[in-house]
Amino acid sequence: MAYDKFTVLTSTAVPLPTDNVDTDQIIPARFLKATEREGFGDNLFRDWRYDVEGNPKKDFVLNDPTYSGKILVSGRNFGSGSSREHAVWALYDYGFRCVVSSFFADIFKNNCLNIGVLPVTVSPEFSDKLMDAVTANPAETITVDIPSQKITLDSTGESESFDINEYKKDNMQNGFDDIDYLLSMSDEIEAFAADK
């Protein structure tokens, strides 16, 4: 499905300094029973966010009104585990458009790019810097610029460039997805499939 175009995003950020955040934490399996894509944001990080009775856990960052924004700054190896795209739907639905980490799991990264959430991989040092800065100052903003492939900590101007392949870059900027592309070359695919 096409999604909102993404070129430059400036936003405050939410810090989540945990490593190996797996997709079972992002959206636990028991919330995967929907047959539609909407509404997953309510259960984003469900078991970290709410206790068994459904009361918000005070010490979890999404329950802390100090922090908000469209960017999630997370620890290393974000999105490991299950291939559930629901994890990205939950992040998107909650309002995140960008996740920053020093390392992403593979399938998760693909899923993000397919539905318009930008995964930005930065160096471990810059990741720490961003984490410290947004934790210390909730008003701190980060700018993610797709055309110039740059992520900047706005208060100090420190920045780093990030990788994204040209094809995905185009897609993100235009809000296109892979299916649009694949459908446009169905003749070629058909010819190829003929001898498979």
As given in the structure block, the two tokens for residue 158 are 């420190």
Radius of gyration of the chain (CA): 18
Which of 5, 7, 8, 32 is the binder for another protein (CB under 8 A)? 32
Q: Which is nearer to another protein, 33 or 65 (CB)?
A: 33
- Examine residue 128 and tell whether it contacts another protein (CB under 8 A): yes
Q: Which is nearer to another protein, 10 or 81 (CB)?
A: 81
Cα(20)–Cα(81) distance, integer angstroms? 9
- Examine residue 165 and tell whether it contacts another protein (CB under 8 A): yes
Cα(190)–Cα(27) distance, integer angstroms? 37
Cα(131)–Cα(15) distance, integer angstroms? 6
Cα(99)–Cα(77) distance, integer angstroms? 12
- Examine residue 80 and tell whether it contacts another protein (CB under 8 A): yes
**112 exposed, middle or buried (CB, 10 Å; 0-12, 13-18, 19+)?**
buried
Which of 4, 52, 66, 139 is the binder for another protein (CB under 8 A)? 52
Residues that bind another protein (CB under 8 A): 1, 17-20, 22, 24-25, 28-30, 32-37, 47, 52, 75-77, 80-86, 88, 103-107, 110-111, 114-115, 128, 165-168, 177-179, 181-183, 185-186, 188-189, 192-193, 196
